[in-house]
């Protein structure tokens, strides 16, 4: 398929067909990719019990810091690439791609160096104590050494979706997830490497994904090309990339800070029947359940992103509005079904984490029911925030993110545990999600009115 044909399908094919075409591979790939953390958590829980599960939970916010930089570069570049392709500015899209590749390399070197130097203070800041620190430190040191692969595997893969190569993006994620699962089991159960095993498996999987992506681009089969003369830090493009990707970056940084606060509050209020280590282990289970469907929602939003971005650049506002509406309805229904299953059958859902930790089951079931009760609203927030991101309005997306993650959730993490103990930690998330839904619905109302006016104006001006 020629470049023109690849771009033309975004503006001509029926929206429903495009969403299936773009979202299904993204969803499948993201869902399989979610097994990274889930498989590691289940294996670690089986071998090391609740201490290992708590240790892995402590490394998540630090890994999210690295991922947030990769998301800023990857999603920011992807948004701009989709718009430039819609404007038929292929050369400018390739220049953005080259700038992003250089940014990945520079940021990875900086973060790897700082991470290895400050690994212990970071873990203590995020809630590690003498019980969990050795396991967490051993796991995280390996992950930090693979920072460059994490950023390339996530960031460059998003470029494939931006140019419409969703099937290649899906295959990349599936290959990576399979490699991770196989090597994680091999290291833990055959070589008996201890906590290093799942970490090494993760890095190997991400390296495999990075090599596959590099081969694809260098083979000349991609819509965009890696051109050596474009791989440099062009400050004007760096500014644009960072601005477009600032919202998801800050969202993940805020998530990292929130997890640090939650971990420390769990350690503080985890007394009596349930200790802090118990609470940290259960928090990891809640995060895994959240991640399982959140990646599906993210995959759908990423499938919609090139459709929205292209048609925004091409000023096809009727197609933009239809894409947004179909995506919102589909995601809300999917999240509602998932949340209902968790509310009705929590024991069956968390059982894989409890094989060697059955004493945690009552706390796990109780916490997961509370933690996930507003998940249908989370789906709406993700789609609406991504819509503003895809249409080049990163500031609006940023407002949504910071309101939920900083303005509302941080105070709730401080105050609710003072009255409800560990329950305050679990209830903070659905309370903040509910407020974010209200904000997004208000913004969506204004946006839908704006789109309707533009569509009506175009109809009046049509020959």
Q: Which two tokens stand for residue 68?
A: 């947030």
Most confident of 105-119, 166-180, 275-289: 105-119
**In the predicted model, what is the mean pLDDT of residues 159-179?**
75
- Round to whole Å and give the CA distance between 322 and 312: 12
Cα-Cα-Cα-Cα dihedral sign, residues 316, 317, 323, 326: negative
pLDDT tens per residue, range 103-119: 988 999 999 999 999 99
Taking the CA atoms of 155, 403, 238 and 5 in sequence, report the sign of the dihedral they define.
Answer: positive
pLDDT at 137: 92
Residue positions counted in the chain: 463
Structure tokens at 47: 């071998």
Mean pLDDT of 176-192: 87
Long-range contacts of 392-395 (CB under 8 A, 24+ apart): 392/79, 392/83, 392/244, 392/312, 394/76, 394/79, 394/243, 394/244, 394/245, 394/246, 394/247, 395/247
Whole-number pLDDT of residue 368: 93
- pLDDT digits 0-9 by tens, 9-45: 777 778 888 888 878 776 776 676 666 667 777 888 8
Mean pLDDT value of segment 77-95: 81
- CB of 249 closer than 8 Å to CB of 69: yes
> Which two three-digit tokens encode residue 389?
């991101």
- Where does the pLDDT of residue 340 fall: very low under 50, low under 70, confident under 90, or very high at 90 and above? very high
Q: To which residue do tokens 């644009």 refer?
A: 240
CA distance 366 to 165: 42
The pLDDT of residue 263 is above 90: no
pLDDT in tens, 215-228: 888 877 777 777 87
Query: pLDDT value at position 226?
Result: 75
Confidence (pLDDT) at 164: 65
Cα first-last separation, the chain? 32
SS3 1: coil
Instruction: Provide the 3-class DSSP secondary structure of residue 374.
Output: coil
Give the residue-averaged pLDDT of 349-359: 83
DSSP readout, 135-168? HHHHHHHHHHHTHHHHHHHHHHHHHHHHTT-HHH
Position 36 scores a pLDDT of 65
pLDDT in tens, 121-131: 989 888 888 88
**Other beta carbons less than 10 A from residue 221's beta carbon:** 10
Rounded to two decimals, the pTM is: 0.74
Q: Could you tell me which of 381, 385, 408, 379 has the C-alpha nearest to residue 397? A: 385
Residue 323: is its pLDDT beyond 80? yes
Per-residue confidence (pLDDT) for residue 89, from 0 to 100? 84
Query: Six-digit token pair at 450?
Result: 């704006």
Q: What is the mean pLDDT of residues 203-218?
A: 86
């Amino acid at each position: 398929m020629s470049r023109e044909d690849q771009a033309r399908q975004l503006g001509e094919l029926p929206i429903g067909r495009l969403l299936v075409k773009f979202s299904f591979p993204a969803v499948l790939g993201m869902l399989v990719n979610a097994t990274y953390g889930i498989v590691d958590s289940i294996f670690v829980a089986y071998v090391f019990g609740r201490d290992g599960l708590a240790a892995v939970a402590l490394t998540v916010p630090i890994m999210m810091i690295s991922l947030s930089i990769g998301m800023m570069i990857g999603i920011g570049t992807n948004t701009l690439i989709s718009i430039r392709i819609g404007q038929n500015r292929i050369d400018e899209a390739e220049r953005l791609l080259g700038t992003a590749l250089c940014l990945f390399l520079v940021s990875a070197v900086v973060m790897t160096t700082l991470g290895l130097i400050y690994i212990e203070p970071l873990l203590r800041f995020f809630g590690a104590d003498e019980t969990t620190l050795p396991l967490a430190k051993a796991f995280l040191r390996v992950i930090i050494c693979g920072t460059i692969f994490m950023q390339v595997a996530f960031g460059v893969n998003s470029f494939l979706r931006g140019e419409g190569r969703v099937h290649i993006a899906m295959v990349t994620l599936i290959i990576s997830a399979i490699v991770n699962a196989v090597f994680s089991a091999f290291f833990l159960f055959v070589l008996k490497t201890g906590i290093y095993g799942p970490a090494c498996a993760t890095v190997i999987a991400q390296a495999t994904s990075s090599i596959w992506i590099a081969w694809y681009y260098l083979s000349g089969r991609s819509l965009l090309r890696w051109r050596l003369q474009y791989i440099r830090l062009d400050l004007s493009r760096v500014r644009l990339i960072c601005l477009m990707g600032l919202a998801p970056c800050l969202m993940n940084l805020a998530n990292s800070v929130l997890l640090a606060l939650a971990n420390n509050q769990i350690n503080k209020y985890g007394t009596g029947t349930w200790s802090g280590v118990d609470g940290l282990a259960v928090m990891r289970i809640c995060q895994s359940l959240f991640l399982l469907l959140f990646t599906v929602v993210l995959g759908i939003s990423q499938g919609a992103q090139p459709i929205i971005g292209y048609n925004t650049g091409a000023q096809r506002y009727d197609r933009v509005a239809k894409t947004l509406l179909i995506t919102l309805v589909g995601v809300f229904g999917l999240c509602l079904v998932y949340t209902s299953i968790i509310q009705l059958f929590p024991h069956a859902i968390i059982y894989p984490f409890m094989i060697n930790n059955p004493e945690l089951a009552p706390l796990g079931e109780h916490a997961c029911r509370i933690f996930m009760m507003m998940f249908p609203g989370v789906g709406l927030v993700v789609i609406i925030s991504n819509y503003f991101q895809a249409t080049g309005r990163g500031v609006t997306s940023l407002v949504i993110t910071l309101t939920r993650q900083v303005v509302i959730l941080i105070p709730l993490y401080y105050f609710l545990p003072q009255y409800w103990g560990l329950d305050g930690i679990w209830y903070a998330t659905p309370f903040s999600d509910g407020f974010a839904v209200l904000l997004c619905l208000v913004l969506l109302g204004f946006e839908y009115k704006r789109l309707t006016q533009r569509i009506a104006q175009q109809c009046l001006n049509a020959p």
